Amino acid sequence: MSLHDAYARITPYELAFPEPDAVDRLIADIAEEARGRGADPAQPHEFITMGAVGAFIRDLQGSDAPPEAIHQYGALVFHAVHFREAGCPVYVLGAHAARYLVGGAPSGAPVPPKPSGYLQLPQHLFWTAGAEGSPPESIDGLFWTLSSTGMLHILLATGLRPDRPGFGTVPVPEAPVSDASSWMGIEVRAAGGDFSSTMPGGELDGLCTVESSGEILKLLARFFAYVTAVPSALVRCEPATGTDGGPTASLFSHDRVVLDG
């Protein structure tokens, strides 16, 4: 299976929110409402109850959207707002660096490089196990947001494919970032090895399968630690042009994460 890590592909943020001004207006509305209510929009349970957020989601989904849409899309909007506020930091994990992180824990401290960001994985390298009866889905990447109380919130983006619109999201239970050092070396699976492929033929292509939130926490903590320990592993890149039939490129400048040192 052909992997792709040559440049930043279009992100779930760009697909879901093609008008950045709309997110900027939402950020302003949230700030005003938060001041009036004394609320903390960095806490998901407070963010989701804000009137500005509810109105934004209803506008996205239309007037006939079911009541559960607020919860269905709330996590994505939460990460989108904080991602935008942080300056839309995108990190493109190269395949060699990804395999290095899967293979072992780096020596650095797992400190997030930004309070919010998007880590884009090599296309088709990491897969979700899929719900019962559903085929595996390729993981495009993950959003993270660090709250004011030190809790790390993560949302996976899956199933970005040129042959169909949209994408899937998988929320990961919140966890204290103060525990991130312990995530790097934990063995999550009882058998088979963390990240080992459970797909037929997956081991031949060196593919990775994610079966639990523990593996996501482990990978993210190792990414944090690696870029802390090896700052030269981050290579600043401008948006790709002339992609020669490859995946649609992101319009964001980004940091490519390479294997260095």
Q: Per DSSP, what are the bridge partners of residue 151?
A: 176
Closest CA to 259 of 232, 220, 236, 228: 232
Q: Quick one: pLDDT at residue 131?
A: 60
Residue with tokens 């592993």, as numbered in its chain: 233
Task: Look at residue 260 in the predicted model and tell me its pLDDT.
Answer: 79
- Taking the CA of residue 8 as centre, how many other CA atoms within 13 Å lie in the half-sphere pointing to its CB? 27
What per-residue confidence (pLDDT) applies to 261? Answer: 56
Beta bridge partners of 93: 257
Q: Give the per-residue pLDDT at 230.
A: 96
Q: What is the pLDDT of residue 246?
A: 87
Return the pLDDT at 69: 66
Q: Which residue has the tokens 């991130």?
A: 180
Diameter of the chain measured on Cα atoms: 57
Q: pLDDT value at position 243?
A: 78
First to last CA, the chain: 28
Residue ranges in the chain whose pLDDT is less than 70: 1, 63-69, 130-133, 162-163, 200-204, 261
What predicted TM-score, i.e. pTM, was given to this entire model? 0.94
3-state SS string for the chain = CCCECCCCECCHHHHHCCCHHHHHHHHHHHHHHHHHHCCCCCCHHHHCCCHHHHHHHHHHHCCCCCCCHHHHHHHHHHHHHHHHHCCCCEEEECHHHHHHHHHCCCCCCCCCCCCEEEEECCECCEEECCCCCCCCEEEEEEEEEECCCCEEEEEEEECCCCCCCCCEEEEEEEEEHHHHHHHHHCCCCCCCCCCECCCCCCCCCCCEEECCHHHHHHHHHHHHHHHHHCHHHEEEECCCCCCCCCCCECCCCEEEECCCC
